[in-house]
Structure 1
């Protein structure tokens, strides 16, 4: 297939909108294995994914081509482009494959694992492309270019989250990978204990904080369940624990750094306070610290990529640990994870006092549907204007616009 034919196939699949899935749909399909049988469900998953993955890959690949030439020309951006093109055509090989052949489905599942592993470093590699742009001769990036890059990265990383979700569900259900526990349906925990996930994120963030600062603040956590009165001390929902862990781990790192750097002279640190409230429709997780807050002038840029209130991380030769802060991707990526299933992440701050971060999640799994970027004419206009169209969801208020 020559370059012209390849582009024709990408164009063809980009004309379709992605099909948003809800957490309820993911769980019901996973549980149907015991009724319909694994072979029949594997065939159904294969037939859905071989088209849906092509649609999602093609939609975001079309947007990559709309990036400013100054970013497209960076070596790291070209690497990411190549990864997506390679993965698209690997899936395309199954376009007309026989879904009744178990060996084909087995090979498809193995190829999905290869694709997921290939894309494991996409976030860091694309971030490096932005760094290369900033460090290049054209490093003085104008506001229009910054706006286009911000808009693209939100959509690009959200699509990456969704593609990984689809692949992980398939490879765990039908491949050799094991779920985290027996009750998990793929990556989804039907009884996700929110406090347990928050506690886990805190313990790991605390360990990292103690490595850098030799101390860490304590955690005070309170759970309120207004739905299940007899289980008032715990709150469980159907959710992807790894997504909530990612969000809370990043927030804990931010709070711990702020507390440690603000109170270097103090013998004790003020605790981080977390309140979890489960209501009939929503879950709210509020994380509060007394780390001094964020100046108001920085608040509009808080969710911009490559913006950080922390100094850029320096090399940690000999330290096999991740940096506490400095890359600027923690908050924007965390917000995408929250929004992926129609939740949200909001940050409020009082400079000189402290910061509150509130995570919102859907209580009902049927309401927690994917929020996906769609490539269309309004997206073409977005790269030239400040409007933010082009998201797909089975919840109507997000059909036209979300920004």
Structure 2
């Protein structure tokens, strides 16, 4: 962040994020070496506190990037966002994984040798769910996206059916909240496009195809929502550029209040469909971004989703056929056969 022009760092949103990371550095700098379980518990308290404080980082960053266009070009802003968010993911994954493993260590069944066959902890290694079922996650995301679409367009709106095809018994290890965020954004975009494009009583279905291979899983989401506007298409993966900058900025201004406390989420953590109920135990700004009010369009869903997909050595591509619809292709590498795609110091310094 110190490579940005001074005028950019004085932006209130960028400055907020800078100060948050500086405070985190000061907290961890003063944590003594962990030698005992008591030391580790104190360290975990510091981790949890910092994770919660940083729930506002993504929306504040996005607002700051939109406001500093006069001093930093759009291309440079996008490079900065991609580098910083990838680093943020790696830090949060390490922190949340440590907290989850610590929670497992303190579980009553950990030492008694009587693990329950149905204990959810058996399926997790920290935050990683060993048996993510593609069909179940798509269905869960489809239900949540449908609920939000009904809230946005009214309970009487005709929603397209979401038809699943392909290898429906596919399972793979993954962090559920990351996958649910990506699929939730894709399905939500498709539902909204079809609802706004079609006035017929029976809108065409959204087809989700699951393909399993030895090294990866591909999920294709196909809709007939008319495709993407030509003026928006060039800026589909950009955080900073595009024709709807002021509208995005206004909508993003409503998100920090949602991300500030877990109680403010559209879907509370206790809700069975919330991302917090699927392995995200320690708070995530992804929950607030996916559970935001249904009429709030932020313009960061697709670029955020691509960063999360690419971090785990996957990919996200979208093909639009103007006047007809879109095909989105999410490739998921099976965790364990690829390293995370980390940000190196060289790429940070090149921002």
Q: Does 2:238 correspond to 1:268?
A: no
- In structure 2, the CA distance between the partners of 1:370 and 1:118, relative to structure 1 (3 Å rule), is same
Which residue matches 1:163? Answer: 91
Match of 1:120 among 50, 55, 62: 55
Q: Distance in 1 between matches of 2:102 and 2:30?
A: 20
For 2:5 and 2:190, how far apart are their aligned partners in 1?
35
**Paired residue for 1:386?**
none
Residue 338 in structure 1 maps to residue 266 in structure 2: no
- Cα distance, 1:70 vs. partner? 3.5
Pick one of 149, 164, 175 that aligns with 1:209: 149
1:374 aligned residue = 344
* Separation in 2, partners of 1:360, 1:260: 26
- Structure 1 residue aligned with 2:288: none
Change (3 A) 1:67 1:98: closer
**Residue 357 of structure 1: CA displacement?**
0.4
Report if aligned partners of 1:306, 1:329 keep a CA contact under 8 Å in 2: no
SS, match of residue 285 in structure 1: strand
Q: Secondary structure at the match of 1:372?
A: coil
Cα deviation for residue 294 of structure 1 reads 1.6
Distance 1:121 1:101 in 2: 32
Instruction: Say which SS state the counterpart of residue 291 (structure 1) adopts.
Output: coil
For residues 235-290 of structure 1, give each alpha carbon's deviation from its aligned partner in whole angstroms, at most 9, with x where no partner exists: 00111111110000011111111111111x32121111000001111110000000
* 2:81 maps to which of 149, 153, 158: 153
- In 1, Cα distance between the equivalents of 2:345 and 2:122? 38
Report the equivalent of 2:165. Answer: 222
Partner Cα separation in structure 2 for residue 164 and residue 271 of structure 1 = 37
Paired residues, number: 297
Larger Rg: 1
1:326–1:308 distance in 2 versus 1, CA, 3 Å: farther
Given that 1:257 and 1:324 are in contact with CA atoms closer than 8 Å, whether structure 2 keeps it comes out as no
Structure-2 residue corresponding to 1:79: 16
Gap change, CA 1:155 and 1:366, over 3 Å in 2: same
Cα gap change, 1:73 to 1:180, in 2 (>3 Å) = farther
**1:230-245 correspondence runs (5 A):** 233-245=168-180
Q: Report the Cα offset of residue 102 of structure 1.
A: 2.3
Q: What TM-score do you get using the length of structure 2 for normalisation?
A: 0.78
TM superposition shift of 1:105: 1.3
For structure 2, the 5+ residue unaligned runs are 108-118, 256-264, 267-291
Counterparts of 1:324 and 1:272, CA distance in 2:
21
Answering whether residue 305 of structure 2 is matched by residue 362 of structure 1, we say no
The structural deviation recorded for 1:324 is: 4.5
- Render the CA deviation track for 1:32-56: whole Å, top value 9, x for unaligned: xxxxxxxxxxxxxxxxxxxxxxxxx
CA drift of 1:132 comes to 3.6
Measured after TM superposition, the shift of residue 299 of structure 1 is: 2.9
Question: What's the TM-score, normalizing by structure 1?
Answer: 0.68
Q: Is the 8 A contact 1:253 1:324 kept in 2?
A: no
Distance 1:252 1:245, change over 3 A: same
Q: After superposition, where does 1:2-401 map in structure 2 within 5 Å?
A: 64-94=1-31, 97-133=32-68, 138=70, 145-175=73-103, 181-214=121-154, 215=157, 216-224=159-167, 233-263=168-198, 265-296=199-230, 298-306=232-240, 312=248, 322-324=293-295, 326-363=297-334, 365-376=335-346, 379-380=348-349, 382-383=350-351
**1:307/1:328 contact within 8 Å kept:** no
